[in-house]
Amino acid sequence: MTSLQSYSELELLNILISMCTSNKFPNVDNIFFQEGYRIVSIDRSVTTGSGSVKYDLVLSSQNKNLTLCFELKGLKASNISKEQLNRYKGLSTEEYIRLAGIQANNAINHKLQTIIGINLENLLKTEEYQVREGYNFPILSFGSQTISISFKELNDSEINQKLIKTVSTIGTPPTFIHFDKESRMSDLAYRAIPKIYSYAKVGTTMFTVEQIVNDVYCSVKELHSIIGPDVKKAVVNKIKSLLRQMSKEEFKDYLSWNGKDKCWVISKIHVESHHTTDFAFQKAGRNFIERLDKEIPFKIDKDVLQGQLSLFDELEPLDIN
Q: How far apart are CA 309 and CA 301, in angstroms?
A: 15
Q: In what order do the strands lie in the sheet with 66-73?
A: 38-48, 51-61, 66-73, 111-119, 139-142, 147-150
Q: What is the DSSP string of 115-173?
A: EEEEEGGGHHHHHHHHHHHT----EEEE-SS-EEEESS--S-HHHHHHHHS-----SSP
Residues contacting residue 49 through CB under 8 Å, at least 6 positions apart: 92, 95
Confidence (pLDDT) at 146: 83
Dmax over Cα atoms in the chain, in whole Å?
70
For each of the chain's 321 residues, which pLDDT tens digit applies?
344 558 999 999 999 999 999 988 877 888 999 999 999 999 999 999 888 999 999 999 999 999 999 999 987 777 788 999 999 999 999 999 999 999 888 888 999 999 999 999 999 999 999 999 999 999 999 988 888 899 999 999 999 998 876 555 566 778 999 998 889 999 999 999 999 999 999 999 999 999 999 999 998 888 988 999 999 999 999 999 999 999 999 999 999 999 999 999 999 999 999 999 999 999 999 999 999 999 998 886 544 444 444 344 344 445 444
Please tell me the pTM assigned to this model.
0.87
45 strand-pairing partners: 54
Give the pLDDT score at 245: 96
pLDDT of 303 reads 46
pLDDT reported for residue 108: 87
Using alpha carbons only, what angle is made at residue 162 by residues 161 and 168, rounded to the nearest 5 degrees? 155
- Residue 147 Rama label (left phi>0; alpha psi -120 to 50; beta): beta
CA 27 to mean position of chain CA atoms = 20
* H helix runs in the chain, sequence order: 9-18, 31-34, 82-89, 93-99, 123-133, 157-164, 185-201, 209-216, 221-224, 229-248, 275-294
Give the pLDDT confidence score for residue 5 in this predicted structure.
59
Q: List, in sequence order, every residue forming a beta bridge with 206; answer none if it has no partner.
A: 265
